[in-house]
Structure 1
Amino acid sequence: MRDPEVVVVGGGNAGYCAAHAAAERGRRVVLLEKAPRADAGGNSYYTLGSTRMVHDGLDDLIEVLEPDERHARTEVPPYSAAEFLDDLERVTGGRGDKELAEAVVEGSRDAVRWLHGLGLRFQLMYDRQAHEQPDGTFVFWGGSHLSNVDGGPGLMAVHEQIAARLGVEVRYDSAVTGLLTEGDAVVGVRIGTEELRAESVVIASGGFQANAQWRQQYLGDGWQHAKVRGTPYNTGDLISAALEIGADRGGDWSTCHSVPWDASYPENESNRALTNRLSRYGYPLGIVVNRRGQRFLDEGADFRNYTYAKYGKVILDQPGSVAFQVFDATSRAMLAAYEYEMPGINPVVADSLEELARAMGVDVDGFVRTVREFNASIDTSRPFDPTIKDGRCASVQPVKSNWAAAIETAPYSAYPVTCGISFTFGGLRGDVDGRVLDRSDVPIPGLLACGETLGGLFSGNYPTGAGLTAGMVIGRRAGALA
């Protein structure tokens, strides 16, 4: 084909959204993917597909959902734009780009419907975001209620089908090594010795979480040891290339999305077969201890949707960068099978607290004391209710603010966890249409960015499902402008 009018660098969710939007306008689009075909899909391939969007409840969602007989027994609370914005403001401590947040929130519903119209299928997250009541009713919680069908692999398979239908040319094994410029404008990319010219370049090649040297430099010492959850190809190359031609840094380069991640599975990095099944997000139902047998965080500070992305860092700071999620027989039965019953999982199981501590390799006296003090401090006047922040607290240090239940019924189970890094929050600075800005706050002609490459939306923490949504919204806007 002739030289493209638009080059998209990076074949994840955001990159494909940009490519689709540009192709719908009749633009000639080439999408360049660094990975070989067998490893394509970026970080998006490793996700569950959770997508946070504004909606008015189940009746508003039905048009994009696959049929499910459970819908008749389901309660999905509305999720307003004000709630979405408040969640972003709250979890980031007010450090996020407010204009970018507003654009993502306001565009979330339309972006989901747009992709559904192109062929992406969605479903409610019954196994992850709902609790079944005794009467058989499913009650949803936590703001992020739907995902695409078949998770990350399904998301990327459909994106590829849409791109083929729209005439987007996809090239794999195409690592971009630089940006072509004429004056102040970007006019294409360099792929090894080849030059590919275009009117616009959209960078959607992710953050730098797979670059151990950059992690240590920008996130701090110790981060070089974090486990890379997703693609090993997001090494910040295009962020570096953009900075070299005068782009400005955007967002918080000192923090990232990092989660409790299985510490015992032998292949616990970039595992395409298990994708995100090595996540361990059931900690609000139990307690988490370090090698000293001590608790060190508030497991019930909020729904795990609003804490999991910051607790990886807390675990990284513990002795050996390892911790243990501990449950008794009652709480163990409430854990999501998707995570806690995956093939090859290796929990520690014992019939006494002392035996469990020895098997974990933690301080026995310290652990037993921790559990007994925790159990004795629980406010049993409040009923346990995992569908709301129930206020059932344990008044020890650190406090457990909600969902405190005694660890008292054998057998006891412990799951070793470490820090899994998903993506970095810092990247390039851009506007709400993805136009990359220079250090004088002026857009660089011909250069756009979206997805994890675009910094500014998150800092310190992250609400579940917001990343895919941001990629959809800003990717679509960038593609509409390119």
Structure 2
Amino acid sequence: MTSFDCIVVGSGNAGCCAAFSAAEAGCNKVLIVDVCPPEWVGGNGYFTAGAFRTVHEGLQDLLPIVNNVSAEQAGSIDMDPYTLHDFLGDIMRLGDGKPDPVLAHAVVNASRDTITWLATEVGLPFMFSFHRQAYKVGGRQKFWGGMVLCTEDGGKGLIAAHHRALAKAKVDVWFNCPAVEITTENGAVSGIIVQKDGERLHLRSRAVVLAAGGFEANPELRERHLGPGWERAILRGTPYNQGDGFKLAAALGARQTGDWAGCHSTCWDADAPKDGGERNLTNQFTKSGYPLGIMVNSAGKRFVDEGEDFRNYTYAKFGRAIQNQPRSYVFQVWDSKAIGLLREEEYGDGIVKKIFGDSVEELAEKLVANGLEAKDEFVETVKEFNEAVKSYQAENQDSNWNPAVKDGMSTQKLPLPKSNWALTIDQPPFMAVKVACGITFTFGGLSIDPETAGVISEQSKVIPGLFCTGEMVGLFHKNYPGGSGLMAGAVFGRKAGKAAAKLTSTNA
């Protein structure tokens, strides 16, 4: 029987952090097992933009760890500090006060130190996210929404860097190797049974870390937990997150927590693959330019306040709003004033089908062929929106449109206002794209000890030797601040690895 000091289930960001941390802390034999084939390495982390939200003291604090800023460029960057209070407040505010504050504190308090660890020890190539989190205003790059860091080449670069680090640390990775059972002796983890090369293998280990993702790839579980219709949502990432990790944990009496009816779901290209992400374009199917325009459903009506908050505070919940619309698709709409501000990686030629019109009426006519069922209502919606914008501008002539701040440029006279960044849609050409709901990950998870990431049982006791990190942790409710998912996975993965090494040393 083969023995390991620590076995990690899952090859994504969280699992990689746990495995590297275990090896770094003294585990001599560390193994990652994953049900996916090697070409699907990385879980959902591969499909992200590689964004990490962290506490920081401003520009000078983070300059030493990024690779895309010269001394000259640094002089033209505006970056406000992001405090412990800010980060914790964002998690709790977006979760309607329901996230476990102790668990949230653990993420926030460890975030900055974990970033340094990821940069200097793991070797993640961090850069400032100019392309996603900053606008150039008055010749200066102004960051907004609290999040400023991402990895070079997004999720692809993130996962590649992680696995380079694992190779140097001599961590083994077995693909096509589903975990089917966690074994115990005297109430403590004793190993794991996997299916490898057509055989069941019992691998001995006193420490098992679950980092197997949520259940977002399982249509049956989506319908059961999220509700009717969710079985039809587009899957953004890996098709291998089927909820199997929860079955392993349930067999040991692990306590479930978190928002099992909630998920991260966003505006996603309606023509994207339905049953799993595309590993070339990955996150480019995201369509997050809605704060610069409006979103209209197939009945020709707006349905959300596109400017209620910065994009990285609303994008993870607007997918649900789209899913709940008639036909579960909508149209994002802009005119020439805003088209040039859309991110090239999401709206460039060859990335998305763009529908143009020289008038709102012509655009509406073309949208009919793409699923718009009420062109007259669409035209009237744009007209009413424009009138509300002009009314606000007439009453607030000193106001200036600024996408890098909450500018208050609104349409408050509408029953459903746009609270910020409201511009008339009246300058041809007009452009629309069709978007649907893309589900990223589910929020329901396991209860863990915030200091060790040890899994807690239904009897409120830590299950000896069982740890958990990543999407399997029940942290978020309803919504979440962008970049906090990868951060939480790294924080609890690092904690789990350290705890696993300590357990191994104690039992040596």
TM-score (norm 1): 0.98
The DSSP-based 3-state class of the residue aligned with 1:276 is helix
Q: Which of 309, 317, 322 in structure 1 is aligned with 2:316? A: 309
Contact 2:305 2:417 in 1 (8 A): yes
Following the alignment from structure 1 to structure 2, what is the Cα–Cα distance between the partners of residues 159 and 265? 27
The DSSP-based 3-state class of the residue aligned with 1:436 is strand
Q: Does 1:22 align with 2:41?
A: no
Contact 1:179 1:241 in 2 (8 A): yes
Contact 1:258 1:309 in 2 (8 A): yes
1:265 Cα offset (Å) = 4.0
Alignment of 1:164-175 (within 5 A): 164-175=167-178
Q: Which of 411, 418, 423 in structure 1 is aligned with 2:429? A: 411
Give the aligned partner of residue 459 of structure 2: 440
Residues 461 and 266 of structure 1: CA distance in aligned 2, closer, same or farther (over 3 Å): closer
Residues 239 and 58 of structure 1: CA distance in aligned 2, closer, same or farther (over 3 Å): same
Alignment of 1:265-414 (within 5 A): 265=272, 269-341=276-348, 343-361=350-368, 362=372, 363-378=374-389, 379-380=392-393, 381=396, 382-395=399-412, 396-414=414-432
Give the aligned partner of residue 468 of structure 1: 486
Contact 1:178 1:238 in 2 (8 A): no
Following the alignment from structure 1 to structure 2, what is the Cα–Cα distance between the partners of residues 441 and 127? 45
For residues 127-147 of structure 1, the C-alpha deviation after alignment (integer angstroms, 9 at most, x for no partner) is: 11111123x211111111011
Give the aligned partner of residue 506 of structure 2: none
1:434 Cα offset (Å) = 1.1
Following the alignment from structure 2 to structure 1, what is the Cα–Cα distance between the partners of residues 217 and 275? 14
Alignment of 1:137-156 (within 5 A): 137-156=140-159
1:355 Cα offset (Å) = 1.4
Give the aligned partner of residue 177 of structure 1: 180
1:67 Cα offset (Å) = 4.3
The DSSP-based 3-state class of the residue aligned with 1:358 is helix
Contact 1:321 1:418 in 2 (8 A): yes
The DSSP-based 3-state class of the residue aligned with 1:458 is coil
Q: Does 1:423 align with 2:430?
A: no
The DSSP-based 3-state class of the residue aligned with 1:360 is helix
Contact 1:30 1:171 in 2 (8 A): yes
Give the aligned partner of residue 54 of structure 1: 55
Q: Does 1:108 align with 2:111?
A: yes
Q: Which amino acid aligns with 2:342?
A: L
1:331 Cα offset (Å) = 1.1
Following the alignment from structure 1 to structure 2, what is the Cα–Cα distance between the partners of residues 270 and 384? 35
Alignment of 1:125-136 (within 5 A): 125-134=129-138, 136=139
Give the aligned partner of residue 82 of structure 1: 85
1:428 Cα offset (Å) = 1.3
Once structures 1 and 2 are overlaid, which stretch shifts more, 288-297 or 185-194? 185-194
1:99 Cα offset (Å) = 0.7
Give the aligned partner of residue 123 of structure 1: 127
1:75 Cα offset (Å) = 1.2
The DSSP-based 3-state class of the residue aligned with 1:307 is helix
For residues 381-425 of structure 1, the C-alpha deviation after alignment (integer angstroms, 9 at most, x for no partner) is: 221111111111112121111111001001110110000000000
Following the alignment from structure 2 to structure 1, what is the Cα–Cα distance between the partners of residues 191 and 204? 4
Following the alignment from structure 2 to structure 1, what is the Cα–Cα distance between the partners of residues 494 and 261? 28
Q: Does 1:250 align with 2:257?
A: yes
Contact 1:321 1:419 in 2 (8 A): yes
1:376 Cα offset (Å) = 0.7
Q: Which of 220, 230, 239 in structure 1 is aligned with 2:227? A: 220
Give the aligned partner of residue 504 of structure 2: none
Following the alignment from structure 1 to structure 2, what is the Cα–Cα distance between the partners of residues 183 and 390? 61
Following the alignment from structure 1 to structure 2, what is the Cα–Cα distance between the partners of residues 268 and 241? 24
The DSSP-based 3-state class of the residue aligned with 2:346 is helix
Residues 212 and 267 of structure 1: CA distance in aligned 2, closer, same or farther (over 3 Å): closer
Q: Which of 451, 463, 468 in structure 2 is aligned with 1:449? A: 468
1:321 Cα offset (Å) = 0.3
The DSSP-based 3-state class of the residue aligned with 1:377 is helix
Following the alignment from structure 1 to structure 2, what is the Cα–Cα distance between the partners of residues 309 and 471? 17
The DSSP-based 3-state class of the residue aligned with 1:335 is coil
Residues 23 and 342 of structure 1: CA distance in aligned 2, closer, same or farther (over 3 Å): farther
Following the alignment from structure 2 to structure 1, what is the Cα–Cα distance between the partners of residues 118 and 338? 38
Contact 1:250 1:430 in 2 (8 A): no
Q: Which of 63, 72, 75 in structure 1 is aligned with 2:75? A: 72
Give the aligned partner of residue 505 of structure 2: none
Once structures 1 and 2 are overlaid, which stretch shifts more, 283-292 or 125-134? 125-134
For residues 90-135 of structure 1, the C-alpha deviation after alignment (integer angstroms, 9 at most, x for no partner) is: 111011011111010010011010011121111000111111123x
Following the alignment from structure 2 to structure 1, what is the Cα–Cα distance between the partners of residues 279 and 400? 40
Contact 1:389 1:403 in 2 (8 A): yes
Following the alignment from structure 2 to structure 1, what is the Cα–Cα distance between the partners of residues 260 and 275? 25
1:68 Cα offset (Å) = 2.0
Q: Which of 96, 102, 106 in structure 2 is aligned with 1:93? A: 96
CA RMSD, Structure 1 to Structure 2 (Å): 1.3
TM-score (norm 2): 0.93
Following the alignment from structure 1 to structure 2, what is the Cα–Cα distance between the partners of residues 183 and 311? 47
Once structures 1 and 2 are overlaid, which stretch shifts more, 47-56 or 388-397? 388-397
Structure 1 residue runs of 5 or longer lacking an equivalent are none
Following the alignment from structure 1 to structure 2, what is the Cα–Cα distance between the partners of residues 393 and 204? 43
Following the alignment from structure 2 to structure 1, what is the Cα–Cα distance between the partners of residues 237 and 272? 15
